[in-house]
Amino acid sequence: MEEQHTPTTTTTTSPLLLLRRRCRIKNSLTSEISGAVGDLGTFIPIVLTLTLVSNLDLSTTLIFTSLYNIATGLLFGLPMPVQPMKSIAAVAVSESPHLTQSQIATAGLTTAATLLFLGSTGLMSFFYRFIPLPVVRGVQLSQGLSFAFSAIKYIRYNQDFVTSTKTSATTPRPWLGLDGLLLAISAVLFLVLTTGSGDYNVDNNDSEDESDNVPLNRSRLRLHKRLRILSAIPAALIVFLLGLFLCFIRDPTIFNDLKFGPSKFKVLKFTWEDWKIGFFRAAIPQIPLSVLNSVIAVCKLSGDLFPDREELSVTRVSISVGVMNFVGCWFGAMPVCHGAGGLAGQYRFGARSGLAVVFLGAGKMVIGLVFGNSFVRILSEFPIGILGVLLLFAGIELAMASRDMNTKEESFVMLVCAAVSLTGSSAALGFGCGILLFLLLKLRKMEFCGSGSGSGVLSKWKSRSSADDNDALIP
């Protein structure tokens, strides 16, 4: 009888125990830390470009994004990424005249207000329930391939983020050197050797192999042990730390340019012209991308990557994006969102809990408080080829989420959606084409049947299953 009362002792949960539950580690600590840097392939180039071109306050951005990382890691319990709003960043640095700091902030605020409205009213959940899975997969595939294409450019060609409008290729990267092609290829081979294809779970069959004495199972056990050792290596972290080390080797004068301490916080002042330019030039192209990739795609991907956990709520994710920007944009922090590519990248390199992004947030906080805006001097010397390697693995991981299309029809919709998104440079355009194509294919399966008496005819639409379609095609 006493055993029946023992569970009541667990009802009192300390804050520390609650924190451990929210950030429960399902991988090794080194894997979580390694996964924390899996999203830096997109974060660093965009932040560096905005800092050099649009005078973004790097210190403020690092401090606020560190707070976002820590908060979202504890809130969602997953390696939820905090990424720059890419369309706003692209408009800010590629169009003339360049957007000012205030105009970038107003673009982020108006985008955040839209997502906050959609999330709080339940409209985001309504859209999410009726969006076909092949269309979501098409958006994910296009974003993943887009990342991979950019990564290959980073690896093969030298990049000038300041003068180049879309970080397009300039001159071929030399084979040798501290940012040479040989270094990038070596990083790729190292990551493949240590992380494989990213789908190996060393705990799957260990108990079965250990229980048998068959020589074949013993060889499998040795294989599992070797793969466990390789997977325990924080590969992405090692590659990133190598890049930081090479920054100082490439230009030792960095030490003389470092200034310690963060910049002072200041509240930006906005004019009506700032709101108008920020909304029409930058927020309008960003809003569809944020809805599709930062909310819908990331929620679907969370269910794919973590099937044992409840899928992220589009309402919570949408509100999270809105709140983050309403906190930081007023002070000049870079507009941010969550993204499927960041989640895929962090998962690819070992992140399995919110603890990974908590570590990342702590690192950003230290850098922002210690080095402040002078840290841009270090980032400007970071080997772009290594960033390309990290971005390549993140893009491929995101694109592979679309491998669950089981029918030719689903694959057709997904590939058309992805192709239009890539060639049209617009996820919204690909999304619209995917929805239209999906509806047309469903309409093609409808049979118009008439029945009635006298002069009246009662018409109705009758849906036919795919199995019926196959039967009808057989002569």
Domain-wise residue ranges, the chain: 14-443, 445-473
Q: What pLDDT is recorded for position 364?
A: 96
Per residue in 261-286, pLDDT (tens digit) is 998 899 999 999 999 999 999 999 89
Assess whether pLDDT exceeds 80 at residue 376.
yes
Residues 338 and 318: their CA atoms lie apart, in Å, by 9
**Cβ-based neighbours of 421, under 8 Å, separated by 6 or more:** 138, 139, 142, 143, 427, 429, 430, 431
Structure confidence at residue 424 (pLDDT): 67
Q: How confident is the model at residue 73 (pLDDT cuts 50, 70, 90)?
A: very high
How confident is the model over 202-248, as pLDDT tens digits? 444 444 444 444 555 888 888 888 888 888 889 999 999 999 999 99
The pLDDT of residue 455 is above 60: no
What whole-number distance in Å separates Cα of residue 392 and Cα of residue 399?
11
pLDDT at 26: 61
From the list 397, 320, 351, 309, the residue with the least C-alpha distance to 83 is 320
pLDDT-based confidence at 473, cuts 50/70/90? very low
DSSP 193-256: HHHTTS---TTSSHHHHHH---HHHHHHHHHHHHHHHHHTS-HHHHHHHHHHHHHHHH-TTHHH
CA pair distance 231, 265, nearest whole angstrom: 42
Q: Residue 353 in contact with residue 23, Cβ under 8 Å?
A: yes
Task: Please name the residue that has the structure tokens 């895929």.
Answer: 344
pLDDT of residue 227: 82
How far is the C-alpha of 374 from the C-alpha of 287, rounded, in Å?
32
Q: Which residue, 438, 144, 139, is CA-closest to 295?
A: 139
User: Is pLDDT of 100 > 60?
Assistant: yes
Beta strands 446-451 and 458-463, pairing class: antiparallel
Statement: residue 433 has pLDDT above 50: yes
Strand partners, 448: 461
Indicate the range of 17-21, 308-312, 350-354, 421-425 predicted with least confidence. Answer: 17-21
Buried b (16+ CB within 10 A) or exposed e, 87-107: bbbbbbbeeeeebbbbbbbbb
217: its two tokens = 């199972």
Are the C-beta atoms of 290 and 111 separated by less than 8 Å?
yes
Q: Which residues pair with 447 in a beta bridge?
A: 462
What percentage of the chain has pLDDT greater than the value 70? 82
Cβ-Cβ contacts under 8 Å for 154 (sequence gap 6 or more): 45, 167, 384, 385, 387, 388, 391
pTM, 2 dp: 0.83
Give the residue from 208, 198, 163 showing the smallest Cα distance to 38.
198
**pLDDT confidence bin for 448, thresholds 50/70/90:** low
- Residue identified by tokens 């990049």 is 159
pLDDT value for 460: 42
Q: Which residues share a beta bridge with 450?
A: 459
Structural contact between residues 389 and 235, judged by C-beta atoms closer than 8 angstroms: no
Tokens standing for 469?
């379609």
Q: What is the mean pLDDT of residues 392-418?
A: 92
Let me know: does 450 contact 459? Beta carbons within 8 Å: yes
Structure tokens at 10: 């667990």
Mean pLDDT of 35-62: 92
